[in-house]
Amino acid sequence: MSIIIHSHTRILVQGATGKEGRFWVKHMIDYGTKVVAGVTPGKEGELVENIPVYHTVRRAMDHHPVDASLLFVPPRFAMGAIFEALDAGIKTIVVTADGIPLHEQVQIRRAAKSVGATVIGGNTTGIISTGKSMMGFFPFWLERVYKPGRIGIMTRSGSLTNEITAQIVKAGFGSTSIVGVGGDAVPFTRFAELLPLFQEDPNTAAVVMIGEVGGTMEEEVAESMKNGLFTKPLIAVMGGRTAPKGTKMGHAGAIITAGKGTVDDKIQALTQAGALVADRPSMVGTLLQRKLGSPCVSL
C-alpha cells in the first residue's frame, strides 16, 4: 500500500510541453507512472512521450479518466491552473512552483479544503509511492535511496530527503510513500493532515518526519500524537538546528513567530509527545531499529 497515489492512479500533467514538464514526464513514465494526458493552452495535438496534449483540463478529461494532476507551471500561473483542476473535479493536485504569492497560497488552501481536495505544495519535490508511481521530480534511479519498504516519510526539505532516506535504506528499511509538503509559508497540506493517511496504511509501520526551523507544523504533529490521532512510531530530524539564533533561513516557511518555531521548541514538543528526535541524519536508521527491531531481510 501507499498513500495519496498508487500504481493505478491516472495522472494529468499541466505544463507538460515545457522543458521541465517534458523531462519529468519521461521519467515518470519510465518509473511506471500512469500519465494519461498533458495540458498546455495552445498546444493541443502535440505529443509528449506519446501522451496527448490538450488545451484545457476539461478537454483532457473528456477523453481520459483522470485521478490527479501535477503542475509544472510558473508561480504566476499556478493559482489559475490549480483552480482549473479543482473546477474540473480533480481531488489530488501536486504543485511544484516556488514563489506563489502569499495571498494566493491562502486562497488556494481555502479552496482546496472547501471541496475536499488534497493539494501538495507549493515548492515541493512532490510525492512518490516507492516502486509504484511518482508525481514530481525524485531521482528514483538512486537505488541506495529509493527502495520499497514500510516507512512513511514526510518532509519539508528537498535537500535533506535523499540523505535521510538513504540512511533509512542503509538500516535495512525502505519507504512506502514520500511526501514533500514544500517550503512555502502556507503549505497547502500540512504534516498533521498527512498523519491519518499513514495511520490508516497497513504497510506503513512508522513515519520519519524531516522538519525545519520555523513554522508550527512539527508542533501540530506533536499535538496530534498527544491526542491519540497518530499512534505509530515517529522519528523526527530537524534541519536548521545548528543555525545561530536570529539567523534568517532560506525557505519562506522558516519563520519563527509567536514564541514557536525554534528547533528547541519543536524538539521539546515532539519528545513530550513520544516521538524520537535524531540529533543528526545518520541516527535515523538506528532509531527506527530501536522502535521496530532490525529487519530480518536486508534491502
Task: Determine whether 204 is exposed, middle or buried from the number of CB atoms within 10 Å of its CB (0-12, 13-18, 19+).
Answer: buried
Predicted confidence pLDDT, tens digits, the chain (299 residues): 689 999 999 999 999 999 999 999 999 999 999 999 999 999 999 999 999 999 999 999 999 999 999 999 999 999 999 999 999 999 999 999 999 999 999 999 999 999 999 999 999 999 999 999 999 999 999 989 999 999 999 999 888 999 999 999 999 999 999 999 998 889 999 999 999 999 999 999 999 999 988 889 999 999 999 999 999 999 999 986 555 555 555 555 455 454 556 888 899 999 999 999 999 999 999 999 999 998 854 44
Residue 93 one-letter amino acid: I
The position carrying cell 497547502 is 188
Annotated catalytic residue within 63, 64, 103, 251: 251
Reply yes or no on whether 251 is catalytic.
Answer: yes
pLDDT number for residue 247: 54
Backbone angles phi, psi at 87, to 5 degrees: -65, -30
Backbone angles phi, psi at 146, to 5 degrees: -110, 90
The closest alpha carbon to 138, from 179, 170, 91, 188, belongs to 179
pLDDT in tens, 114-141: 999 999 999 999 999 999 999 999 999 9
Residue 168 one-letter amino acid: I
Q: Is 104 helix (H, G, I), strand (E, B) or coil?
A: helix
In Å, what is the CA distance from 64 to each residue of 34, 36, 37, 42? 12, 7, 7, 19
